[in-house]
């Protein structure tokens, strides 16, 4: 309905953004004179229908907010703050492009950034790509995944696995309608711990980029960081490989959200499997010298780096076993890994109402 032309759409966006809007020319001019550090940070990430989101269940404005959040999470992992966004939106006929653009601009504004350019095109499948430019939060050493050293402690900025549960709930029929203030559970799904399920859906659909945390971490003398997008095991492999170290994760220390494990049980999902490989957690994974206690920043210690290459897990019985890098590889598969029961929620232990 809103496909009445790129020109008209951009005009509406410019009107929505107000008189200061920079939309219009072939390229956007970015004033970098005010950058104290003389450095820009840039990242690009997409949301694709059927891969990262389900457009049949999640309204355009919520997809747009998620797009901004996952990009901002990359900047958080670099210790940078978002400033300027460029959107390339390829959408199928009838897609509510106006709402998507408005929500993108709004979400960027909430993070202190501005939508300065973009490209609109038609495609069979929604492919929304945001390039986010940011500035370093402070002078000093930059956050990078290659800065870990043997002996470093490993920390997590938040819980893992919850987003994957939310993803499974979307697969089972959950979603987020345009004007609803919160996501909705799969219709007809009878479930104890509905609050936990609701939180999991929100966590999956509206992740919170840890920008303030990244800013703090950038002040440490040496610190390796990345954001968990493809699962702890896979992203830790990346950090360890880039740093030339090995790592051991203390499985008993992995932080889970309230009622996460019992919710998984109800949904016939594997809590530890999702915690290690579920992906899209969008919390920071950090390695730094053991002298730094990051508990005050809300981080949870989950293991340590070693000179011996490879990933290991210490189980509850204190045995140490090799840990597979089994995260979500976007080129390798279309969907997050299907742990036990992922696709079978409706038929699983969770009870459906007769209606």
Cβ distance to a copy of itself smaller for residue 245 or 269: 245
Closest CA to 74 of 297, 286, 242, 229: 229
Least Å distance between CB 11 and a copy of itself?
10
Closer residue to a copy of itself in complex, CB, 24/187:
24
Reading the block at residue 251, the tokens are: 């499985």
Cβ nearer to a copy of itself, comparing 77 with 294: 77
| Cβ atoms 22, 12 nearer than 8 A | no
Please identify, using beta-carbon distances, which residue of 142 and 289 lies nearer to a copy of itself: 142
The answer to whether 157 and 188 have CB atoms below 8 angstroms apart is no
- Residue 227 or 259: which CB sits closer to a copy of itself? 227
CA distances from 158 to 70, 143, 248, 286, 304 (A): 15, 18, 18, 11, 17
| Strand pairing class (80-91; 127-136) | antiparallel
Residue of 209, 60, 58, 218 whose CA lies nearest to 136: 218
Distance of closest approach, residue 182 Cβ to a copy of itself, in angstroms: 28
Token pair 């390796």: residue: 224
Q: Give the nearest distance from C-beta 154 to a copy of itself in angstroms.
A: 17
Nearest-approach distance from CB 171 to a copy of itself, in angstroms: 17
State in angstroms the smallest separation of the CB of 232 from a copy of itself: 15
Q: And the tokens for 136?
A: 């370093």
């Amino acid at each position: 309905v809103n496909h009445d032309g790129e020109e008209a759409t951009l005009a509406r966006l410019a009107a929505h953004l107000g008189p200061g809007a920079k939309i219009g020319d072939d390229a956007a001019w970015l004033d970098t004179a005010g950058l104290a550090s003389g450095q820009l940070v840039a990242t690009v990430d997409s949301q694709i229908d059927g891969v990262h989101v389900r457009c049949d269940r999640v309204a355009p404005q919520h997809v747009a907010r998620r797009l901004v959040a996952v990009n901002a999470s990359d900047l958080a992992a670099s210790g940078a703050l978002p400033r300027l966004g460029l959107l390339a939106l390829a959408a199928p006929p009838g897609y509510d492009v106006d709402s998507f653009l408005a929500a993108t601009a709004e979400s960027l504004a909430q993070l202190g950034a501005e939508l300065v350019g973009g490209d609109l095109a038609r495609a069979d499948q929604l492919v929304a790509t945001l390039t986010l430019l940011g500035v370093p939060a402070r002078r000093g050493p930059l956050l990078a995944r290659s800065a870990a050293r043997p002996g470093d402690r490993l920390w997590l900025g938040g819980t893992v696995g919850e987003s994957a549960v939310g993803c499974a709930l979307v697969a089972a029929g959950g979603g987020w309608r345009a004007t609803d203030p919160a996501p909705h559970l799969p219709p007809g799904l009878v479930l104890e711990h509905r609050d936990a399920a609701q939180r999991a859906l929100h966590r999956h659909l509206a992740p919170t980029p840890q920008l303030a945390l990244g800013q703090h971490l950038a002040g440490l003398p040496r610190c390796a960081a990345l954001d968990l997008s493809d699962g702890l095991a896979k992203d830790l492999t990346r950090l360890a490989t880039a740093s030339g170290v090995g790592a051991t994760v203390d499985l008993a220390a992995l932080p889970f959200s309230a009622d996460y494990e019992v919710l998984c049980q109800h949904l016939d999902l594997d809590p530890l499997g999702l915690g290690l490989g579920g992906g899209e957690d969008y919390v920071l994974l950090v390695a730094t010298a053991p002298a730094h206690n990051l508990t005050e920043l809300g981080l949870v210690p989950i293991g340590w780096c070693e000179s011996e290459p490879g990933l290991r897990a210490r189980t509850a019985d204190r045995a140490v076993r090799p840990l597979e890098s089994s995260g979500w590889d976007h080129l390798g598969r279309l969907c997050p890994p299907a742990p036990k029961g992922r696709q079978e929620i409706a038929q699983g232990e969770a009870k459906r109402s007769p209606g």
